[in-house]
Structure 1
Amino acid sequence: MTAAPPAAPRPASRRARATVLVLLPVLPLLLALVGPLIAPHTVDTPVTAPFAAPGDGALLGGDQLGRDVLSRVLHGGTLLVAGALFVAVVTTVAAALIGCVAVLRPALGRAVERGADLAILLPPLLGIMLIALAWPGGGRWAVIAAAVVLGVPYAVRVVAAAASPLATAGYVEAALARGESTAYIALREILPNLRATVLTLFGLRFVEGVYVISMAGFLQIGPRPPASDWSLMIRENASGILLNPWAVIAPSVAIAVLAVTVTMVVLSLAPDTTTKAAIR
């Protein structure tokens, strides 16, 4: 006697699971955005000895200058999240528009493909360093610009691959027969059918923005001292990790939790085929 197949998940269970997944990144995002309002000390005021152990005056101890680690962690995520969000929005919007138009204009599609091939050949770290070091004054905006420039070709290719089957759909051919413009067809006929792809791409580009900005801060080609930034905190306090490990562990955990929770939401809510294509 064969066993009965397992029952399909109830819609209510799926909704509850989706709600939990959506709420996962709320805590780290909320911590990054409202942290400066609840920090016990100002970001640049020494409150204890350098690399002091956790105590009454500093819950997570002091950093290399005796500043409160907890306060600097609460201040350090705001600009990182804002920068990653800017990268995700600009990259996703540019990719969505260019990718949808590229499938309707073969010449543009070929140019996009060649540009993506060239971007793939350039090591990401080298590209970030070249753009950041050539940017007047360097700093955070140089890293953000590098993340956008290097991220758009990959993102365009993902959108174009998802939009390619739609370019031969009946409603697109009907719009072409009516004489509709390329912009109209791309924005009204193709783009609305790519919601899952665009959503997945946005989430993954956000995580990529967190990764790029954090890496640049660690390499000191992004945020500069005395800025309070999670990645910069890791670099600045690495020499005293044996004296006060929290000065390095706390910002490292904050970056990891932010990136992992957003990635879990994207991978769980997006269709498998879309997710795999966006990751590639």
Structure 2
Amino acid sequence: MPLSGKIGLALVGFWILAAILGPLVAPYPPGAFVSEEVFAGSTSQFWFGSDFLGRDVLSRLLVGARLTMGLSAIAVAIAVALGTGLALTAAVGPRWLDELLSRAMDTLISIPSKIFALVLVAAFGSSVLLLTLIVAITYVPGNFRIARSLAVGLARLDYVEVARARGEGRIHIALVEMLPNMIRPLCADIGLRFVFIVLLLSGLSFLGLGLQPPEADLGALVRENVSGLAEGALAIMAPAVAIASLTVGVNLLIDAATQGNVK
């Protein structure tokens, strides 16, 4: 594995551990007012200082990382399952179904993802469940296009034709003959979708349309402490660096994997 891949793996591994164990080792309850000073600097008591209400930034950061990574992982799983499922259906189904699904996805993908998500959030609200579904649906078309291009190419190969000649059904061909040979390129797409969803969720939260108080993901932590930007407060710098390091780490790991250097 190249150095960039090792750095990416270390960053991703760190944030996975933070998401799993962070809330258990957080020094204070995330909503507790523990400091008399707002936007305090780093001290032995508050490693990342305090936020605009005197809450411990480190504790809120660890809980926010779990929400950001958890919701993003669930959303990307839904998006990939729907997109790949529809792509396989289009590849093995009749031509009219392929055309119908492809044109529908082309229509959706022509709408910028943030605008599409903003419209859906404004229409249906931003509870945790709805927000996850909205973000997932936003990225279904992108996954569909990649999965369909892979599936259509596989559908013309000899071993798939042999399966058809044996009388295998469309479901068997899609799930047994084609899907296993799509896994590796789809894994790279899953990583990219995860990055896009992290950024979209953080962007929506920064605009006040994501998770609502008292819940707070990394984007919400940036928004609620934006008044400390002029002071360079750790309360705003820490979640911003967390978002950047997470997305950069995933990108470095994907880059190493797609180059075929991950052993």
Report the CA distance shift for 1:24/1:66 in structure 2 as closer, same or farther (over 3 A).
closer
How far does residue 18 in structure 1 lie from its aligned partner after superposition?
A: 6.3
2:60 matches 1:72: yes
Larger RCO: Structure 1 or Structure 2 (Cα < 8 Å, ≥ 6 residues apart)?
Answer: 2
Which residue of the other structure, out of 235, 243, 251, is the alignment partner of 1:247?
235
1:15: how far off? 9.1
What is the identity, as a one-letter code, of the residue corresponding to 1:40? Answer: P
Kindly indicate whether residue 69 of structure 2 is the aligned counterpart of residue 81 of structure 1.
Answer: yes
CA gap 1:219/1:18 in 2 versus in 1, 3 angstroms: closer
1:54 is the counterpart of 2:46? no
Which position in structure 2 is the counterpart of 1:199? 187
Query: What corresponds to 1:35 in structure 2?
Result: 22
Question: What amino acid maps onto 1:264 in structure 2?
Answer: L
Work out whether 1:177 is the aligned partner of 2:129. no
* Contact 2:6 2:253 (8 Å CA) reproduced: no
**Does structure 2 retain, via aligned residues, the 8 Å contact 1:132–1:146?**
yes
User: CA, structure 1 residues 178+271, in 2 after alignment: closer, same or farther (shift >3 Å)?
Assistant: farther
Deviations 1:88-107 (A, max 9, x none): 11111222222122112222
Corresponding residue for 2:144?
156
Letter in 2 for 1:67: R
**SS class of match (1:196):** helix
User: How far apart, CA to CA, are the structure 2 residues paired with 1:78 and 1:45?
Assistant: 18
**How far, CA to CA, are the matches of 1:238 and 1:254 in structure 2?**
15
| Structure 1 gap segments, 5+ residues each | 1-13, 273-280
CA distance in 2, matches of 1:271, 1:103: 27
Provide the residue aligned with 1:267 in structure 2.
255
- Spell out, residue by residue over 1:241-278, the C-alpha distance to the aligned partner (whole angstroms, 9 max, x if none): 23452011100111111111112111221258xxxxxx
Separation of aligned partners in 2, 1:241 and 1:47: 21
Report the equivalent of 2:110. Answer: 121
Q: Residue type matched to 1:116 in 2?
A: M
The partner residue of 2:216 within 221, 228, 236 is 228
Asked which structure has the greater CA Rg, the reply is: 1
1:132 matched to 2:121? The reply is: yes
CA distance in 2, matches of 1:117, 1:271: 29
CA distance in 2, matches of 1:251, 1:30: 16
Deviation by residue 1:43-72 (Cα, 9 ceiling, x = unmatched):
111121222233343222211100011111
Q: CA deviation at 1:21?
A: 5.1
What is the deviation of 1:23? 4.2
Work out the CA distance in 2 between the residues paired with 1:32 and 1:201: 22
Identity value in percent: 31
Q: Are residues 20 and 124 of structure 1, via their aligned partners in 2, closer, same or farther at CA, if it must alter by over 3 Å? A: closer
Contact 2:4 2:256 in 1 (8 A): no
CA RMSD of aligned residues (A): 2.0
